[in-house]
Structure 1
Amino acid sequence: MKPLELITTLLSEEGREDPYPLYAELREHGTLVTVEPGYLVATSFDAVNGLLRDPTFAAQDASFLLLSSSILSTNPPEHTRVRRLMSGAFTARRVAELAVAIESQANALIDEITQKGAPADLIDDFAYRLPLGVICELLGVPEKDRSWFRPVAADFAIALEGTFTLDEAAAAQSAAELFEAYFSDLVRSRRGTRQNDLISELVSAAELSESELLGNLALLLLAGFETTTNLIGNGVMTLLQRPEQLARLSGAPELVDVYVEEFLRFDPPVQLTSREAKETTVLEGQRIEAGTYLMALIGSANRDPDRFVHPDHFHPERPGNTSISFGAGAHFCLGAALARLEARIAFPLLLRRLPQLALAGEPLRRNRLVLRGYESLPITWT
């Protein structure tokens, strides 16, 4: 197929179900592929890495106003100023201090699963609730307020997709308004009574505008659990499809670090991002005109055979396994260390406490491409 046909198929329901063969076809067209005049796609590891690291290429404005002032959509120097204020909560030391609390939350969720008995839905009962609980504790969102987040966040997450219907856009806008109103109330309460949480820290810093504060709180909530939910769900499904790997990690939980890195490479929770050329420049030997739109295919970069030997094989102990799943450059994922920690705690606990883990029904993929994950993943155990 021609590049435009491949991209069109990639954005279809069929393409979203399994994008990897389409990525392989796109790579055959080159490392930086012209889809249409002014529209390029980076397919290789080096092209994606170069695109994301080069400050000539800017993050694009968000589709929805609430995120337009967030670090997802802004560029240096504004991005640098705001990210500096937020990054203190995600240092290696601060994240490591959360390990005991994360393990406690994970065990409590598995307690509920075992008490109810098989079958369970890994997504609803664990992969969604664990990272949501962690990010809410970090932010300072009261536990009583969390139950309504998932359907609202699911509607809002369409803001991160490249394409959506008018109905989806309307639902996302309604969700954005709910989040904005909710966080406005929380911020107002923290201005009156400071607590030991990230919202209080950001309010006290007094260096963020109201729109920056609300936009980044919404982003932290959304990115703080959506991507980790997908990492856990995709990783468990990868193991269930490979019984020998499931048995190996179950018997050697000390290998969890390399398994998590391979989960991230093999089926990343975020498949793509985009940039716009601020000025005329060169990438991969090609002249790029100012205003050109570029799509960075993270999922394709992680399957680049010039970077990874046998990239379509799941091989946890592959040498030099450094994927680009958390991005690169100024917009490298702020919560990468936290996501890794949650996954490193979650997988050994799940496999130890739910032995002989197996599918209990047909998994359901979400009809999404940018945020790739499962809507439901029925499991059983012995």
Structure 2
Amino acid sequence: MSLSDSPRVFSKKEVARHCTKDSCWVLLGTRVYDVTGFLRMHPGGEALILRRAGNDISPELEGPPHRHSENARRWMEQYYIGEQDKDCDADETQTARKRRKSKERTEDEEPSPLSKCSQVNLDTDLVDWRKPLAWQVGHLGEKYDTWVHQPVDRPIRLFGNYFLEASTKTSWYMVPVVWIPLVIYLSWYSYTTLGQETTRLFANTDYSILVHKYSFPFIFLMGMIMWTFLEYCIHRFVFHMRPPAHNYYLITIHFLLHGQHHKSPYDGSRLVFPPGLASVAIGGLYLLLTKIFPETLGVSLFVGGLFGYVVYDMIHYYLHYGSPKRNSYLYSLKAYHVKHHFEHQRAGFGITTTLWDRPFNTLIPEQTF
């Protein structure tokens, strides 16, 4: 093995110096990991890792409180940067000096955080990461399900065409910017129309109930609860369907809908739905509710569901990138959702709530946290 292929070697003092939010290193035995980029993503929060910066975290991975999954351990390897020389007290080892000098002529700056934690082997991985993935994954067949649930911390390029690729990416703030004005308008429309006292819900041809404007908050809330059920069903039965191993097209569709999110769960540009794609499902829900119920009642339910969707997308983004306070509701949701990604892909389908996981027996056991 050449010098360029050998791992960097760090002294104890070097490792100990990296104990801040700007540069946080930890150890697994003598293996050194730069987990700076993972601090905000960790379900236990930044402080939990920072308290162990510069130290061996092997006991924490084994538990208690829980033993980390194989996917979590595999994820950890993306941040590996070298080895600690326990017998060396100098600030830098001779090997590290030689390595740096050999790169002085070819490197003008430190590698980006992405290059440090994107350790996919480009030569041996099942797909070619140098090319768009959308048209490759369908060929994985029986290997697809295992491959897609082994997450990596690197961006995914789905399409070669620039405009097609850009249409699959969305900044989080676009969701409230696009949909909240519609929520406000339809809420006002529903309330004022109900105030005209012309909306009635018919039980049969002889009996009907007047839907009063003061019932709008209750109907709105029912729409939000309805959304949580739709959220659960879509996540479980559509996003987590198991495409037949022999069907190239269903595998590709699954990857585009949700598989790419499980393969790269911290790709921030694909954590919320693009408004154009979401509008198809939202429009379908609107048409369905206004056909089933009197129009104003259907719109009132719809606007509550639409607001529930906005809350869902914002919470989902926050669960991946936020740092909720320990013992808060969002803290427990973040831990729950991370478990879904790394260990329990066939359970834990609730995002904004675990309400529907309970009656449908897909709740992630508490003892695994």
Query: Which range, TM-score by smaller chain?
Result: under 0.3
TM-score (norm 2): 0.27
| TM-score, normalised with respect to structure 1 | 0.26
Q: Which has the higher helix share?
A: 1
Higher relative contact order at CA 8 Å, sep ≥6: structure 1 or structure 2?
1
